[in-house]
């Protein structure tokens, strides 16, 4: 399963060496460039790992190209922490939804178009994993960069107790875009590229709906605390990522409550 160097005609991955339970094989930094063009867009520079950031900059230079802008898909440090150092290396602005992540750049809104030497990238707002999460559509490649909204394997964590409703809406929207635009490839923030986008979105949606049913069943059979629901729904969860399972349960409980499906007296 090759990740480093994988991609499409216009996208190439530089894998950051920061593997872990939450980052999988590491953070995927994406270099986007129209074939033969000089201007480059870099997506998700990664954590503050100087060797990785210098490798990304060097890779662009070796292609005879230049970074025109950097885009961050969301605020988490494994995607954004290296943005300031990378801006110093390249002189290019960093665009992001979260103003705390930007470096001389601007905000990102749904439908925004980013252009670099013939390359056209469209911003798709996909809140849920975080409230500032975006995906990036590269229409000429029939590809979407998904950040942490969709991972190369496994499922993503919902950051915030109110995020699941937004996340489900984002999944449904991405599935519609995949079908309408003929998207053939998903380029995630972690893990290998995905070449069956519609199937992947269907799997994500089915998984979430199944988990909601399991959480509701756990509640209906006596679980009243988040930890009790985790024990029943995620019985084999690794202790290293139990906090992530608890976060997901809280989001699921809040979502069920918003739909009026949660009995009274349940801890959210």
The model's pLDDT over 32-74, given as tens digits with 9 standing for 90+, comes to 999 999 999 999 999 999 999 999 999 999 999 999 999 999 9
Tokens of 208: 């979430």
Looking at per-residue confidence, does 90 or 263 come out higher? 90
pTM for this predicted structure: 0.91
Q: Tell me what the pLDDT averaged over the chain comes to.
A: 94
Q: What is the pLDDT of residue 31?
A: 98
pLDDT digits (tens, 9 = 90+) for 130-175: 999 999 999 999 999 999 999 999 989 887 767 889 999 999 999 9
Query: CB neighbours of 129 closer than 8 A, spacing ≥ 6?
Result: 74, 147, 148, 149, 156, 157, 158, 159, 163, 167
**β 66-71/39-43 pair status:** parallel
Q: How many CB atoms lie within 10 A of CB 43?
A: 24
Query: Of 78, 132, 141, 148, which is the active-site residue?
Result: 78
Q: What is the mean pLDDT of residues 11-29?
A: 97
Q: What is the mean pLDDT of residues 74-98?
A: 98
Q: What is the mean pLDDT of residues 100-114?
A: 98
Is 78 annotated as catalytic? yes
Q: What is the pLDDT of residue 263?
A: 76
The whole-angstrom distance between residue 13's C-alpha and the CA centroid of its chain comes to 15
| 216/233 Cα distance (integer angstroms) | 10
What proportion of the chain, given as a percentage, has pLDDT over 90?
79
Residue 268's pLDDT band (cuts 50, 70, 90): low
- The DSSP call for residue 98 is S
Residue 267's pLDDT band (cuts 50, 70, 90): low
pLDDT at 222 over 90: no
């Amino acid at each position: 399963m090759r990740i480093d160097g994988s991609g499409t005609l216009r996208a190439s991955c530089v894998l950051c060496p920061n593997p872990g339970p939450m980052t999988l094989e590491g953070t995927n930094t994406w270099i986007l460039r129209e074939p033969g063009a000089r201007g480059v867009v870099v997506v998700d520079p990664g954590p503050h790992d100087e060797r990785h950031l210098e490798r990304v900059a060097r890779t662009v230079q070796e292609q005879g190209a230049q970074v025109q802008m950097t885009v961050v898909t969301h605020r988490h440090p494994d995607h954004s922490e290296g943005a300031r150092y990378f801006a110093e290396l390249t002189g290019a602005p960093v665009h992001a939804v979260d103003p705390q992540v930007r470096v001389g750049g601007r905000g990102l809104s749904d439908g925004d178009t980013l252009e670099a030497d013939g390359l056209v990238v469209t911003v798709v707002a996909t809140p849920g994993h975080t409230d500032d999460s975006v995906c990036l559509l590269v229409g000429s490649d029939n590809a979407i960069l998904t950040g942490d909204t969709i991972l190369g394997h496994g499922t993503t964590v919902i950051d915030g107790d109110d995020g699941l409703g937004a996340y489900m809406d984002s999944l449904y929207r991405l599935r519609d875009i995949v079908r309408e635009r003929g998207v053939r490839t998903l380029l995630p923030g972690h893990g290998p590229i995905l070449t069956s986008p519609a199937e992947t979105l269907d799997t994500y949606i089915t998984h979430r709906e199944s988990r909601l049913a399991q959480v509701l069943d756990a509640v209906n059979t006596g679980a009243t605390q988040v930890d009790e629901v985790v024990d029943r729904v995620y019985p084999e969860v690794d202790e290293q990522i139990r906090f992530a399972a608890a976060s997901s349960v809280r989001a699921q409980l809040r979502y069920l409550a918003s739909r009026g499906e949660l009995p009274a007296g349940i801890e959210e």
